[in-house]
Amino acid sequence: MFARLAHDSRSHATSTASESDASADTQRAARMVAAVAASVLCVLAFSAATAVADTLPDTTGAVYELMNADSGLVADNPNWSTTDGTEIVQWTRNGGDNQRWILKPVTLDSGVVHYSIRNAHSRLCLAPAYTTADVINVKQTACGQDRGQHWEFTKTLKGYRIRNRRTSTLLRVHNTNEGAKLKLSSPVLVKTKLPLYTQPHDVWQLTASAAPKV
């Protein structure tokens, strides 16, 4: 009888140990699955972030809001103007077509794609005023083939720098105030001749927007 009890005790201990080992194996397997899943998610997240960061403006004529990375204000056609020559400003986002801009590729120069920037409300294109001044205001004007209506987008960590093809200068604002006019000026000029503007705000973030409300 005692031998039978001893045998049963050993069998129970063996069974308990086996169950414990199986449970430990299951836990280890679960941890491995979780670790693999986490790694896959990290890779997917990194790939997605890279894809977004490397994405250039849409080449099909999509609509964007252009937000200055420093001021948080967007490029605005003031008072919903349809007048040729209206100077463009920055303003608080309102979601209107006067703050929507259609980007469309127009030229390929030495491997560089240039875009026209057309206001979704006025259907006029962004261009610098014709002047030899060091700082040039930016206006909307009838769309055409003028090099002043061609813009190059260069990716940065915070958004894009937008360079005008005719003037070879960057689109920027010189302060963060609502209503400040969009301008073109070179970084060297800003530092040497315009000491008040030691931190030119020349980086723009593109936010895809809905189609124009026509």
Question: pTM for this structure?
Answer: 0.69
Does the pLDDT value for residue 143 go beyond 50? yes
pLDDT for the residue 157: 86
Burial of 28 (0-12, 13-18, 19+ CB in 10 A): exposed
pLDDT for 106 equals: 86
Nearest alpha carbon to residue 64 among 120, 140, 142, 127: 120
Q: What percent of the chain has pLDDT over 90?
A: 46
The 10s digit of each residue's pLDDT in 1-56 is 434 434 444 444 445 445 555 555 656 655 554 544 444 333 333 333 222 334 45
Confidence band, pLDDT 50/70/90 cuts, at residue 62: confident
